[in-house]
Amino acid sequence: MPIRPVPLALLAAVGLAGTTVLLTLPRGEAASAAALPPPPAEVVRPAGQQTAVLAGGCFWGMEGVFEHVRGVVSVTSGYAGGTRGSANYGSVSSETTGHAEAVRIVYDPAKVSYGQLLQIFFAAAHDPTQVDGQYPDRGPSYRSAIFPQNDAQRQLAAAYIAQLGKAHAFPKPIATKIETGTFFPAEAYHQDFMRRNPNNGYIQRWDKPRLARFKAAFPQLYVG
């Protein structure tokens, strides 16, 4: 994964259930302080373990954030948006497969809601205003996307994106797309990469700040 300098940005206030904290957002040269509203309430919270699939740049950092969320059972790095035959790192890196690097999150909805996962996704796990890339990584495989696993998730994701846009929560338009596609796990060496390689240069520069933003913004949802 290439490393290029990306300007760091200012501060944004992120709210959860009435709580506001400050965190550093990457990029956004003209960023202004804005409160990120919580998502719409789920009409019916499902019972039993559920699955969410989200794409927000390098899956190392996305996995590293969501595995620290209270109520998350497991996080798997992988690919979504293309075919099974092209779901491998070499092919996806060619930017010709339609895949995005993504994570599959298995969670307990009694402890964390899908809406809360989306709020973490937009507020701390990545920059949803970057188009076809994330931080130093450029190309559609690093795009911001949500892959709903059912109609309820799709409706909630669409409503939240519209809500954030109407509230002008970000200084630039939200680039996140709602897509369809099967999730395919990535190679074994990508799994738990951040936990197994805490001193890796890429992890130190780009992914640990994601985790720090999440911990600062959502202390009630963070688990060590």
* Catalytic residue chosen out of the listed positions 12, 52, 58, 118: 58
Q: Which tokens hold the place of 131? A: 């188009």
Task: Measure the CA–CA gap between 184 and 30, rounded to whole angstroms.
Answer: 37
Residue 160: CB atoms within 10 A of its CB come to 23
d(CA 211, CA 85): 32
Give the rounded distance of the alpha carbon of 223 from its chain centre: 17
Strands 8-16 and 19-26: antiparallel
**Is 58 among the catalytic positions?**
yes
Asked whether the beta carbons of 210 and 125 are under 8 A apart, the reply is: yes
- Both tokens of 174, joined, read 């939200």
3-class DSSP state of 47: coil
Q: At what angle do helices 59-66 and 208-217 cross, to 10 degrees?
A: 30
Strand partners, 74: 106
Query: Which residues are designated catalytic?
Result: 58
